[in-house]
Amino acid sequence: MTLYLSFISASLLVLLTACGGGGGGSPTPPVPVEKTSSQLAQICAKENPYIADATAKTTIGTVVDEKNWIKAYMNERYLWYRDIPRLNADDVRYNVTTNGSLNVVRSVANYFYDSVTPLKTVTGTAVDKFSFLIDTASWNGFVGSTDLGYGLMVKSSSASGVRVVTVSYVYPGSPAMSSGIQRGDQIISIDGALAADSSAPASALFAEGLSPTRVASHTFVISRAGVSLSKTLLASVVSLQQAEYKVLTSSGGKLGYLLFNSHVPGAENILVQAMTSFKQQGVNDLVVDLRYNSGGYLSIANALAFSVAGSARAQGQTFEMARFSDKRSAENYAMKFSNLGLGNQVYPSLNLAKIYVLVTGSTCSASESFINGLRGVNVQVELIGTTTCGKPYGFYPQDNCGLTYAAMELEGVNAKGEGGYSDGMAPQCAANDDLNHPLGDPAEGMLSVVLKRLQGLSCNQATGVALGATSLAGMSWRDTSLVLRPEWQNNKVLQISR
């Protein structure tokens, strides 16, 4: 699991001087001319190490050209374009040198970061904590469900002041699974560096082993049920299976369980298989486990939501209304429900009036759109777990010079005009992620709540929490630990720029 370096920021407008002409008298002052991001695109500094990964033909320029592109791109597309700070592009912060050479990536990253709106919400958090910049190769790997690592997720917590790193998920068929790594294993050390050691050398050694930057073997010492085990894992490029499913027996009949970890193209075949199997087996209840799903392509969330709701509820209805800035209001559009996925796969209809969704603070973006879109057409979605991440914003990824930029461009609302969940979606039934049981195990803490709810128990009774669904509404029931992954993977991606 590679934790890629990500950068947050953005930028605005570019003014160039055009020649002015005039006859007789004083010369006409130069007239500023705005160049568009399209006119400025793919003009790259020769020191940029990512030029070869650009998605279009490039020409050699300077870092000034790349900053000019950022400025135009942000002015044209950024949701909060009015609030972009004025920056001096000549400042040393935007012309960084490393060991005597121009560091293009750091220079443009700083420029992009510093261009993001400084506005805060009423609770004091950043309005835009989501815009990001990442190298295009890493972005393409994410979209293609590949990763340099072992095929595992981990969660980190420090409840007692000591860092604890625990395996939360092992991808099917991955090197981690082949090595016997299991959900709930606590990682004590990697290559001799203790997880609890906060010194710089130990932290760097542990981080490289946990999130490798190159193909190499690393020695893990894990603790399982109080027993220490040593495992040697080879970091390599791994294909990640993003969904699993099964049918369980519940008091109400058959319960479909769908574990879904990322809205990326590689997940769609399994999603269609899962929903088809649920329909064929006549499931009358469904739980969608999105506890680790950070988002991805909105088209996939749309198709899955259509599959849940069915044509009678969803056909012709709005899944999500995209609202851009005032200067782009003509681009506002309603994404209608569709049974066709990103790759035009046809999703079957289950025609369910209610589903259960397992959520945590790692449930984000497109996953939240899935929930909100269903609620917009009166499908009852009961959330079980902890408060979601809170990201109603989306973007069209844009490559320039081998770097993929994602400035937030729009806010999404459902068919009822509901949105604005920037502080997250609170669960109706509060429950913590239970790392002591496999995902999909009826005894696992969050899934067991669903089974108890199907027996007719209240949230109080099902979770043991002294708060009912009504009294919990609007509250933040937050995770004590979160999946370790880069913030840029929490996203809502639109397929085609309109």
- In sequence order, what DSSP letters do the residues of 202-265 get, joined into one string? HHHHHHHHHS-SSSEEEEEEEEETTEEEEEEEEEEEEE---EEEEEEEETTEEEEEEEE--BSG
Q: How many CB atoms lie within 10 A of CB 276?
A: 15
Helix crossing, 63-77 with 104-115: angle to 10°?
20
**Coarse DSSP helix, strand, coil percentages of the chain, rounded to the nearest 5 percent:** 25, 30, 45
**CATH number assigned to the domain covering 243-396+409-493:** 3.90.226.10
Q: For the chain, what is the total number of helices (H) and then of strands (E)?
A: 13, 29
Q: How many CB atoms lie within 10 A of CB 461?
A: 14
pLDDT (tens digit, 9 = 90+) per residue, 453-465?
999 999 989 987 5
Residue 159 has pLDDT above 80, yes or no: no
C-alpha to C-alpha distance for 306 and 410, rounded to whole angstroms:
22
Confidence class of residue 30 from pLDDT cuts 50, 70 and 90? low
Residue 22 three-state SS = coil
- Considering all CA atoms of the chain, what is the largest pairwise distance in Å, rounded to the nearest integer? 92
What does the block give as tokens for 263? 């809205």
Predicted local distance difference test score (pLDDT) of residue 94: 97
Residues 342-366 have a mean pLDDT of: 94
Predicted local distance difference test score (pLDDT) of residue 482: 63
Predicted local distance difference test score (pLDDT) of residue 489: 53
Predicted local distance difference test score (pLDDT) of residue 23: 38
Predicted local distance difference test score (pLDDT) of residue 72: 97
C-alpha to C-alpha distance for 389 and 263, rounded to whole angstroms:
16
CA separation (Å) from 428 to 149, 306, 310, 462, 472?
A: 36, 23, 24, 11, 6
* Contact call for residues 133 and 403 (beta carbons, < 8 A): yes
* Contact call for residues 145 and 240 (beta carbons, < 8 A): yes
C-alpha to C-alpha distance for 483 and 312, rounded to whole angstroms:
37
C-alpha to C-alpha distance for 210 and 261, rounded to whole angstroms:
20
Predicted local distance difference test score (pLDDT) of residue 33: 63
Residue 25 has pLDDT above 50, yes or no: no
pLDDT (tens digit, 9 = 90+) per residue, 37-60?
999 999 999 999 999 999 999 999
Residue 242 three-state SS = coil
Residue 369 has pLDDT above 80, yes or no: yes
Straight-line distance from the first to the last Cα atom of the chain, in angstroms, rounded to the nearest whole number:
33
Residues 392-397 have a mean pLDDT of: 90
Residue 478 has pLDDT above 80, yes or no: no
pTM equals 0.83
Residues β-bridged to residue 256: 247, 286
Confidence class of residue 383 from pLDDT cuts 50, 70 and 90? very high
Pairing of strands 380-385, 429-430: parallel
What does the block give as tokens for 228? 């220490």
Residue 405 has pLDDT above 50, yes or no: yes
19-23, 95-99, 158-162, 285-289: lowest mean pLDDT where? 19-23
Residues 324-335 have a mean pLDDT of: 95
Class of residue 188 by CB neighbours under 10 A (exposed 0-12, middle 13-18, buried 19+): middle
Count CA atoms closer than 13 A to 82's CA, side-chain side: 5
C-alpha to C-alpha distance for 183 and 435, rounded to whole angstroms:
6
Residue 469 has pLDDT above 60, yes or no: no
- Give me the chain's average pLDDT, please: 87
Confidence class of residue 7 from pLDDT cuts 50, 70 and 90? very low
Q: Pick left, alpha or beta for residue 69 (phi over 0 → left; psi -120 to 50 → alpha; otherwise beta).
A: alpha
Predicted local distance difference test score (pLDDT) of residue 268: 95
Residue 289 has pLDDT above 70, yes or no: yes
CATH 2.30.42.10 matches 148-239: yes
Confidence class of residue 481 from pLDDT cuts 50, 70 and 90? low
Predicted local distance difference test score (pLDDT) of residue 314: 97
C-alpha to C-alpha distance for 191 and 206, rounded to whole angstroms:
7
Opening angle at CA 203, ends 199 and 209, nearest 5: 155
What does the block give as tokens for 432? 């913590």
Predicted local distance difference test score (pLDDT) of residue 466: 39
Confidence class of residue 6 from pLDDT cuts 50, 70 and 90? very low
Predicted local distance difference test score (pLDDT) of residue 126: 86
DSSP characters over 176-204 = HHHTT--TT-EEEEETTEETT--SHHHHH
pLDDT (tens digit, 9 = 90+) per residue, 172-190?
999 999 999 999 999 999 9
Predicted local distance difference test score (pLDDT) of residue 435: 93
* Contact call for residues 233 and 225 (beta carbons, < 8 A): no
Confidence class of residue 483 from pLDDT cuts 50, 70 and 90? low
Domain residue spans of the chain: 15-20+31-143, 148-239, 243-396+409-493
pLDDT (tens digit, 9 = 90+) per residue, 220-263?
999 999 999 999 999 999 888 999 999 998 877 899 999 999 99
